[in-house]
Amino acid sequence: MRTPSNTDSILPVGTDRKPLAAEVFGLPAVGRKQPPEICFPRRRIVRSMTGTDRPRRLRRTPALRRLVAETTLEPRHLVLPMFVADGLDEPREIGSMPGVHQHSMDSLRKAAVEAVDAGVGGLMLFGVPLPEDKDPAGSQASDPDGILNRGLRALASEVGDATVVMADTCLDEFTDHGHCGVLGPDGQVDNDATLHRYVDMAIAQAEAGADLLGTSGMMDGQVGAIRRGLDAVGRTDTGILAYAAKYASAFYGPFREAVSSSLEGDRRTYQQDPANRRESRRELDLDLAEGADIVMVKPAMAYLDILREVADRATVPVAAYQISGEYAMITAAAERGWIDRDAAVLESLTSIRRAGADIVLTYWATEAARRLS
């Protein structure tokens, strides 16, 4: 009787012959008729032992990993959110966002030039008025001499030919109650009355030099109202970056310090419920039908599933906003030595791009752009 070999387990019990090479490698026999149980043997561990499936080959060197990378992150993908505050002579650091500042007009110009030199794709400006300039209607928002419109003119003059200047088209920084719209007699945000204020605000921002208007208030019909208002005064080239899916998130906390928000309560009657997914598709479809040029998901990292769905469905470029709380979490963990800050920053931005964002708003835009260059 033949001594059993280590390949005998490939053959059916009772078979007294050497296995074919095809059988050893888990392939069907060619040119020789075999019983079914021999033509397609169970592969067990043979396939993995032969090295047929080795994905690690393409991870072996940095050059190979770069060659086959499915997602790229470039400076042009990044937009820097900026804050310009009235009454400042020097920039003022935001306590809950180390490294981020409320700018004076001079420091705004300087930071904008640095960002553009680093290669960022755009700048998104938020205005911070003096407390005494806030009122129930957010009048400063549409005042040509209000802090946001003065800041937009400064950016357009300084770097307008080299980057995309964007404006936050929302009332929350300018109202004394801190909501994103005007309030009705019942104390609730009056959607349709707010649209009139948004149109006034949008026209003022377009005249101040904004290329794109960020409709972040989450009022029903806001994109359509602003588009019609802009077109009526001949501002047909001013684009709309629609906050199509903006959730009522706990991660906005540091931002409210950044804009010196007067909000008491919450914004859950107009921002989306974090539990809802289908709703974002409905909001997206409405914004597209109303004329949005770009759509955005906010926040980003906790809503990558929403971002993926929006990216799959949208017919225009898609943006995502890595918000203040996301910035603060990574910064705080890195300060405690719990994570590698630089690696975490790039990984987080890459994950947002991988989920489908063409554009990423991030407070690390200038820093990341320099590193990527």
Quick one: what percent of the chain has pLDDT higher than 70?
86
Same-domain status, 215 and 350:
yes
* Cα 309 from Cα 302, distance rounded (Å): 14
Domain assignment present for residue 59? The answer is no
Domain assignment present for residue 66? The answer is no
The pLDDT value recorded for residue 16 is 60
Same-domain status, 353 and 232:
yes
Same-domain status, 93 and 48:
no
Catalytic residue numbers, as ranges: 246, 298
Total domain count, the chain: 2
24-38, 132-146, 258-272: range with lowest mean pLDDT: 24-38
Look up the CATH number of the domain holding residue 142: 3.20.20.70
Burial class (CB in 10 A: 0-12, 13-18, 19+), 99: exposed
Same-domain status, 25 and 123:
no
Domain assignment present for residue 19? The answer is yes
Query: What value does the mean pLDDT of the chain take?
Result: 89
Domain assignment present for residue 60? The answer is no
Local confidence band at 53 (pLDDT 50, 70, 90 cut-offs): confident
Q: What's the chain's length in residues? A: 373
Same-domain status, 143 and 46:
no
Burial class (CB in 10 A: 0-12, 13-18, 19+), 176: middle
Domain assignment present for residue 285? The answer is yes
Local confidence band at 268 (pLDDT 50, 70, 90 cut-offs): confident
**202, two tokens:** 């949008």
Same-domain status, 225 and 343:
yes
Same-domain status, 186 and 108:
yes
pLDDT at 287 over 70: yes
Same-domain status, 132 and 197:
yes
Dihedral sign for Cα atoms in the order 80, 86, 91, 95 = negative
Same-domain status, 207 and 278:
yes
pLDDT per residue over 80-129, tens digit each? 999 999 999 999 999 999 999 999 999 999 999 999 999 999 999 999 99
Q: Are strands 92-93 and 101-103 parallel, antiparallel or unpaired?
A: antiparallel
Same-domain status, 49 and 80:
no
Domain range enclosing 269: 75-372
Same-domain status, 184 and 329:
yes
Residue 343 phi, psi (nearest 5) = -65, -40
pLDDT per residue over 153-171, tens digit each? 999 999 999 999 999 999 9
Local confidence band at 263 (pLDDT 50, 70, 90 cut-offs): confident
Same-domain status, 285 and 359:
yes
**In sequence order, which residues have a C-beta less than 8 Å from that of residue 133 and are 6 or more positions away?**
86, 140, 146, 174
Average pLDDT over residues 350-368: 98
Domain assignment present for residue 68? The answer is no
Q: Which residue has the higher pLDDT, 236 or 38?
A: 236
